Amino acid sequence: MSVAALFVEKDGVYSGLPGVEPWDEERDARRYAGPHPVVAHPPCQRWGRFATGSTRKPAQYRVGEDQGCFAAALTAVRNYGGVLEHPKDSLAWDYFGIMRPAPSGWVRADRFGGWACQVEQGHYGHFSRKATWLYAVGMLPPPLIWGRSAQRLPAYAVERYGYEKARRIGVMAAVGGKDKTRIRNATPPQFRDVLLSIARAAAQPEATSND
């Protein structure tokens, strides 16, 4: 079964895969109208800890003003089946009425037949723990590797900050440089394959109920 990968990086980890149709920024995934199930990675900046701006400019933005990206991704998952990925504690969950997941296992998420879970990408090859929330529709989602993954502290972070600070701030915060956003946001191939397998298991969700 073919899968559409929405809101992904141009020439990124979803490019060149058989049966995968990437929708990058230029193609504009907000226009996706089926028919394949999806793996969706909508932008998270306006839904996270600094949704309204940095500590120096705390009211620079408004929560949720992402040009409709999350709403489009959620609509695609509900209409065509598949899975959506966002960081743990995403404000979009409450905003769109999705049940917050437990620390492990899938929970029934809404009246559209959705499931939600929390999983750490560190179990699947990410350099940090990167706790992540998933929302899936159209299948009975599979068991994943639950719980805390190992904390990895690279030598450069320990050398730069010392062990205690490096452990406290975590690997994600220690990443700097001009490519820091791309590096932090990157989906490991192993985790990508898990998401694709979930999407491929999705049937067209005609049987899901809005009642």
pLDDT surpassing 90 at residue 152: no
Which tens digits make up the pLDDT trace of 27-68? 999 999 999 999 999 999 878 776 656 667 777 777 778 999
Buried b (16+ CB within 10 A) or exposed e, 70-103: bbbbbebbbbbbbbbbbbbebbbbeeeebeebee
pLDDT surpassing 90 at residue 98: yes
Q: Is-contact 138 203, C-beta < 8 A? A: yes
Q: What is the CATH number of the domain that holds 8?
A: 3.40.50
Mean pLDDT for 134-156 is 87
Listed range (122-136, 149-163, 172-186) with the worst mean pLDDT:
172-186
Give domain status of residue 159, yes or no.
Answer: no
Task: Provide the total of helices (H) and of strands (E) in the chain, helices listed first.
Answer: 6, 7
Give domain status of residue 157, yes or no.
Answer: no
pLDDT surpassing 90 at residue 110: yes
Give domain status of residue 210, yes or no.
Answer: no
Give domain status of residue 55, yes or no.
Answer: yes
pLDDT surpassing 70 at residue 157: no
- Residue 195: enclosing H or E segment and its boundaries? helix 189-200
Structural domain total, the chain: 1
Mean pLDDT for 125-143 is 93
Q: Domain range holding 13? A: 3-147+187-200
Give domain status of residue 64, yes or no.
Answer: yes
Task: State which of 11-25, 122-136, 173-187 shows the largest mean pLDDT.
Answer: 11-25
Mean pLDDT of the chain: 85
CA distances from 40 to 8, 44, 55, 198 (A): 8, 12, 29, 12
Taking the CB of residue 169, how many other CB atoms lie within 10 A of it? 12
Give domain status of residue 171, yes or no.
Answer: no
Q: Residue 165: which pLDDT band, with cuts at 50, 70 and 90? A: low
Q: Is-contact 108 137, C-beta < 8 A? A: no
Nearest to 152 by CA among 162, 166, 132: 166
Give domain status of residue 135, yes or no.
Answer: yes
Burial of 107 (0-12, 13-18, 19+ CB in 10 A): middle
Residue the block writes with tokens 């900050």: 161
Mean pLDDT for 96-109 is 96
What's the start-to-end Cα distance of the chain, in Å? 29
Give domain status of residue 205, yes or no.
Answer: no
User: Which residues 6+ apart lie within 8 Å of 33 measured at CB?
Assistant: none
- Residue 77: enclosing H or E segment and its boundaries? helix 69-80
Name the pTM for this structure.
Answer: 0.82
